[in-house]
């Protein structure tokens, strides 16, 4: 079984495998290419992003710098907004829905390392080789989600549609749709309802209107 197939199967794999290292090197170099562009070089940026991620919808914007690990394991919907230092360590699959917004320093991680130090350093493969190994769990983010600054999404987490994740949160478990969640570890604070509409905040709405 190829190491990439092991990632998909959720079992231990060797991140130092030559095939995986080649994928990561290509992506890391493309990250640097993107990060060296000017913000208004939209066509150039779009060409680079197409080479990095597995799939991306129309109308997205990534402020940069960006940091994808594999890139090809990430699928992104339409109208993404990602602020400074958007990091996606996509050893396993990462999916992001439409109309998602990420504040500065958002980090999405999928790899998990053994807890026991000796096992973290070396494991024995089926072929009798001693190698450094880990495993990975996919992350899934729904549509219309907003993440505050410095949010970390941990391996194996699913976040439902229409969620708001408070700044500085570390998301270690699933968050149901229509939730405001925050904290370390992140927990649901309450459901988002009609009462959260800007129409009930006239002092902020000013002379604007809710569509």
* Residue 162 falls inside a structural domain: yes
83 within some domain:
yes
Q: Let me know if residue 210 belongs to a domain.
A: no
Look at residue 134 and tell me if it is in a domain.
yes
Domain presence at residue 44: yes
Q: Which of 28, 69, 113, 140 is catalytic?
A: 113
Active site residue 28: no
Domain-embedded: residue 22: yes
pLDDT in tens, the chain (211 residues): 899 999 999 999 999 999 999 999 999 999 999 999 999 999 999 999 999 999 999 999 999 999 999 999 999 999 999 999 999 999 999 999 999 999 999 999 999 999 999 999 999 999 999 999 999 999 999 999 999 999 999 999 999 999 999 999 999 999 999 999 999 999 999 999 999 999 999 999 899 999 9
- The number of folded domains in the chain is 1
pTM value is 0.94
- Tell me how crowded residue 19 is: count the other CB atoms within 10 A of its CB: 10
In a domain, 211, yes or no: no
Longest Cα–Cα distance in the chain:
71
The span from the CA of 182 to the CA of 200, in Å, is 23
Q: Is 167 part of any domain?
A: yes
Residue 106 contacts by C-beta under 8 Å, 6 or more apart in sequence?
A: 82, 83, 85, 86, 87, 147, 149, 150, 151, 152, 153
Here the CATH number for the domain that contains residue 82 is 2.160.10.10
* Nearest CA among 74, 105, 104 for reference residue 89: 74
Structural domain for 61, as ranges: 3-205
């Amino acid at each position: 079984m190829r190491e990439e197939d092991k990632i998909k199967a959720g079992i231990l794999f060797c991140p130092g495998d030559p095939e995986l290292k080649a994928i990561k090197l290509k992506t890391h170099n493309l990250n640097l290419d993107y990060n060296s562009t000017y913000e208004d070089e939209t066509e150039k940026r779009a060409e680079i992003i197409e080479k990095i991620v597995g799939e991306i919808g129309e109308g997205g914007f990534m402020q940069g710098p960006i940091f994808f690990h594999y890139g090809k394991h990430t699928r992104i919907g339409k109208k993404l907004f990602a602020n400074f230092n958007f990091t996606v360590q996509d050893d396993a699959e990462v999916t992001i829905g439409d109309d998602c917004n990420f504040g500065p320093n958002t980090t999405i991680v999928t790899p998990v390392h053994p807890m026991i130090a000796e096992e973290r350093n070396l494991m024995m493969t089926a072929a009798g080789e001693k190698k450094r190994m880990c495993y990975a769990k996919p992350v899934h983010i729904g549509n219309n989600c907003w993440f505050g600054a410095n949010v970390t999404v941990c391996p194996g987490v699913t976040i439902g549609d229409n969620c708001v994740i408070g700044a500085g949160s570390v998301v270690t478990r699933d968050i149901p749709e229509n939730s405001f969640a925050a904290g370390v570890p992140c927990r649901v604070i309450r459901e988002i309802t009609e009462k959260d509409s800007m129409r009930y905040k006239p002092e902020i709405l000013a002379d604007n209107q809710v569509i």
